[in-house]
A = this chain, B = another copy of it.
């Protein structure tokens, strides 16, 4: 039995004694303890060595006191397992030197046997669960198929991912073949994470907000829907489609227990769009953690008040920025933990 199951109860819609809190990218570059390991080991070495992934995953639980751990990994381990080369350069971002552009490129990749290609993730989860010793839940995750397609086609980060979009608009059959391959891999991958011990799953659609509402349904949501349907009866699932406020109602209808929202929508509007049957997660502007601590405290309280009690997990509206001071991250977490309605 988990000692702190606030997040699980909140995802079930139960009233809790306070709002739970974690931060996207909480295991990361703002923590000096993480930087030490980053300077010693390459990115994939950290992901693929269960002891390192475990240590990094648990750091923010110990250091800033969040109510959940989230697996240290990257969404691009899935394209890698599918057979694409992925390089992750510190401070530069991902590079996929041989992206998918044609049917021949698609033939180069496959839906892999995840128990072979991603066994290191499942081993890490088992070790983390053991080390966490039921203090807080462990969140597993994967990228949404659309977001993974963006990288697999564009080959690197982009503001607009227009090459990825052009691929989808000009070769829709190929795009849907690729999206289905990613979806099938992701379902097997997330089922493996559940089997290894993940208590909650989050699907990150970082680039969902680049699509029109109609294209979001066709290129993204219909695949997320398959994923949620496959895992939601085993563990509660959170969809975070950054910027896709227009589809909160449709995402709520997938059966996801939670929906992540960014700071560019008010909690009131998000609740109105999403309805009352889903827990909302967010939505502090990550750049606001660069404010003086009294400003952070004031704005966090305003956010909590705007969401109201219940059906809310406090979080940032995107990943924590690397230049945030640990004390500021702690001020965010502590303000949530001390707040009472």
Q: Which of B169, B211, B290 contacts A264 (CB 8 A)?
A: B211
- B243 and A290 contacting across the interface, CB-CB below 8 Å: no
Question: A102 on the interface (CB 8 Å rule)?
Answer: no
- Cβ contacts A131-162/B at 8 Å (1 or 0 each): 00000000000000000000000000001111
Closest chain-B Cβ to A129's Cβ sits at a distance in Å of 34
Cβ of A213: which chain B residues have Cβ within 8 Å of it? 264-266, 269
- A285 and B212 contacting across the interface, CB-CB below 8 Å: yes
Cβ of A214: which chain B residues have Cβ within 8 Å of it? 266
- B212 and A287 contacting across the interface, CB-CB below 8 Å: no
Cβ of A65: which chain B residues have Cβ within 8 Å of it? none
Indicate the member of A169, A286, A321 with the most B CB atoms within 10 Å. Answer: A169
Task: Report the separation of the CA atoms of residues A214 and B212 in the bound assembly, to the nearest whole angstrom.
Answer: 24
* CB-contacts of A257-305 with B (<8 A): 263-266, 269, 285-288, 290-292, 295
- B287 and A165 contacting across the interface, CB-CB below 8 Å: yes
Question: A215 on the interface (CB 8 Å rule)?
Answer: yes
Known: A169-B295, A170-B291. A264 touches B285 (CB 8 A): no
CB closest residue in chain B, given A303 = B212
Task: Report the separation of the CA atoms of residues A211 and B290 in the bound assembly, to the nearest whole angstrom.
Answer: 14
Cβ of A162: which chain B residues have Cβ within 8 Å of it? 286-287, 290, 321, 323
Cβ of A169: which chain B residues have Cβ within 8 Å of it? 287-288, 290-292, 295
Question: A209 on the interface (CB 8 Å rule)?
Answer: yes
Cβ of A263: which chain B residues have Cβ within 8 Å of it? 212
Q: Which of B166, B285, B292 contacts A287 (CB 8 A)?
A: B166
Indicate the member of A161, A213, A265, A285 with the most B CB atoms within 10 Å. Answer: A285
- B246 and A215 contacting across the interface, CB-CB below 8 Å: no
Cβ of A245: which chain B residues have Cβ within 8 Å of it? 245
Q: Which of B212, B246, B265, B288 contacts A165 (CB 8 A)?
A: B288
- Cβ contacts A243-257/B at 8 Å (1 or 0 each): 101100000000000
Q: Which of B170, B246, B264, B318 contacts A212 (CB 8 A)?
A: B264
Cβ of A166: which chain B residues have Cβ within 8 Å of it? 287, 290-291
CB closest residue in chain B, given A216 = B264
- Cβ contacts A315-327/B at 8 Å (1 or 0 each): 0001001010000
- B165 and A285 contacting across the interface, CB-CB below 8 Å: yes
Indicate the member of A166, A210, A246 with the most B CB atoms within 10 Å. Answer: A166
Cβ of A287: which chain B residues have Cβ within 8 Å of it? 160-162, 165-166, 169
Cβ of A285: which chain B residues have Cβ within 8 Å of it? 165, 211-212, 215
Interface residues of A (CB under 8 A from B): 159-162, 165-166, 169-170, 209-215, 243, 245-246, 263-266, 269, 285-288, 290-292, 295, 318, 321, 323
Q: Please name the 4 residue pairs, one residue from A and one from B, whose CB atoms are nearest each other, closest first.
A: A166-B290, A165-B287, A169-B291, A162-B287
29 A-B pairs with CB atoms under 8 Å apart are A160-B287, A160-B318, A161-B287, A162-B286, A162-B287, A162-B290, A162-B321, A162-B323, A165-B287, A165-B288, A166-B287, A166-B290, A169-B290, A169-B295, A170-B291, A170-B292, A170-B295, A209-B264, A211-B264, A211-B285, A212-B263, A212-B266, A212-B285, A213-B264, A213-B269, A215-B285, A243-B243, A243-B264, A246-B266
